[in-house]
Structure 1
Amino acid sequence: MEEILGTRQLARDTLVETAVRYAEDRHWEVVPGTSVQDTGLGRQCSCGHPACSAPGAHPLHRDWAAQAASGPAMIRRWWAEHPDAAILLPTGRVFEVIDVPEQAGCLALARLERLGLALGPVIATPTRRMQFFVLPGARDKMPDMLRRAGWGSSAIDLVCRGDGDYVVAPPSRMGASGTATWAREPTEANRWLPEARELISPIAYACGRAMAEA
């Protein structure tokens, strides 16, 4: 029992310290999300809705977009009140995210590496998605970029997350699936994010190939 409690405390410490590091090192705004709770009925979202569609993966506060902060004091206060809260990063401010299926994301990573293209951080979610960080402004241009790359906006499973949306950051726990992890961690080498147009052709190709194989 002491070992289990110690593991939980370590996870909580990791969440708050990681949230602070995102704010201080990357200047990313952070908001607290809900958490996954182990109950007698299994794992449930802390929001209290038994049929929650995104347990542990949605904002804790309704006005989360207005409350987003990059100040360590506020972040520590939030996690002192909700130590198991997921770390959510608003998109459309410092970065946007190209969100694709895991198989396509892995294919895209390999292709981008072969082409020698610069990459930003990449999240791998336990829901089998991969999320590529790019500079803001991509979402409005995405339909045109996909057409230029030879794909209709509805032809492939590719979503651009911008203003008004968010991603669940590692090491947050998401439902019964597991935790979000970094496929490409934030480092000094990828501090400067790429433009979406630099990556979209290889990523769209990978999405199309994965869809054809499926």
Structure 2
Amino acid sequence: MQPKTFSTCADCGEIMQIYQINQAVHPCCTEPRDYISEAIRLMQEAAWSGDTAAVDRHAAFIEEIDAQPPRLLEAALKYATDYGWPVFPIAPGSKVPGISKRAGGNGFEDATTDPATIRAWWGRNSNFNIGIPTGIAFDVIDVDCAAKGAGIWAWSEFRESGYHPDIHGETTTPSGGFHVFVEPTGDGNLGKFLPGVDFRGRGGYIVAPPSVRYDCDGLRYRWAIKPSPVLLSQTQQRKAAA
């Protein structure tokens, strides 16, 4: 049986199996419109009609919105309070913990869902990226598309094999790779379990959207497939049982 991919319906909020690229809602639900998605729709229509001036206008609007500073504190609080995922600060523009051991930091072990602590961290530096430990609410398959595309080829073959677990979210990374979110297995980290592919479980962490990488031209981590309620409910069940 081929693994399935799930997300959260942007209309009803229930779990949704993904059948097509850029699917945001169930077939019977209403797709919400925001500024970006509406601009993209209008730009696509203009491209089909050959209206290059309109294409340029909508593209400029999208670039203007995209250039605005990421709302890192807002996103960190959403992960912590709405999703139940503990977060910790990552140094601005990087992938390393934002509070050094010399300053009393313990990396992903400092992760918390406490809003006051999170506000205090990002109050110290509003440009902190967002780190989330793996092995708690989810594990992550980290696919690196560098090294002549070894990761993407290995991942494609792995998907076709049908052996990997169902997918419950996916983010793109500034370096051109992506993070695949799966239910927690209880396993630890495993580097290069496939060519160009790492597994992050207990003892690991990932950098979450909308974090920025300075060494990748300031590009951001982005949700390609928003997390499904399965990952959210896993956390809530653990909290209730604690």
Q: Name the structure 1 match of 2:200.
A: 161
Contact 1:57–1:175 at 8 Å: present in 2 too? Answer: no
Q: Name the structure 1 match of 2:111.
A: 68
Match of 1:170 among 195, 206, 209: 209
Q: Name the structure 2 match of 1:132.
A: 180
Give the SS at the match of 2:69.
helix
For 1:60 and 1:180, how far apart are their aligned partners in 2?
17
Q: Name the structure 2 match of 1:184.
A: 225
How big is the shift at 1:187? 5.0
Give the SS at the match of 1:167.
strand
> Where do 1:183-202 residues align within 5 Å?
183-188=224-229, 191=232
Instruction: Tell me, yes or no, if structure 1 residue 11 matches structure 2 residue 69.
Output: yes
What does the per-residue CA deviation read over 1:192-211, in whole Å, with 9 as the maximum and x for residues that have no partner? 67xxxxxxxxxxxxxxxxxx
How big is the shift at 1:176? 3.0
Give the SS at the match of 1:11.
coil
Q: Which amino acid aligns with 2:203?
A: G
- Over 3 Å off, 4+ runs: 102-108, 138-143, 187-193
Percent identity over the alignment?
A: 29
Q: Which amino acid aligns with 1:65?
A: F
Judged with a 3 Å threshold, the aligned counterparts in structure 2 of structure 1 residues 131 and 81 are, in CA distance, closer, same or farther, namely: same
**TM (normalized to structure 1)?**
0.60
**TM (normalized to structure 2)?**
0.54
Contact 1:138–1:160 at 8 Å: present in 2 too? Answer: no
Contact 1:120–1:192 at 8 Å: present in 2 too? Answer: no
Contact 2:193–2:199 at 8 Å: present in 1 too? Answer: no
Q: Which deviates further from its counterpart, 179-188 or 18-27?
A: 179-188
Kindly report the root-mean-square deviation, in angstroms, between the aligned alpha carbons of the 2 structures: 3.6
Judged with a 3 Å threshold, the aligned counterparts in structure 2 of structure 1 residues 140 and 190 are, in CA distance, closer, same or farther, namely: closer
Q: Which amino acid aligns with 1:163?
A: R
What are the ranges of 5 or more consecutive residues in structure 2 without an aligned counterpart?
A: 1-64, 235-242
Q: Name the structure 2 match of 1:59.
A: 97
What are the ranges of 5 or more consecutive residues in structure 1 without an aligned counterpart?
A: 1-6, 37-55, 144-152, 194-214
Instruction: Tell me, yes or no, if structure 1 residue 93 matches structure 2 residue 93.
Output: no
Larger radius of gyration: 2
Give the SS at the match of 2:126.
coil
Q: Name the structure 2 match of 1:209.
A: none
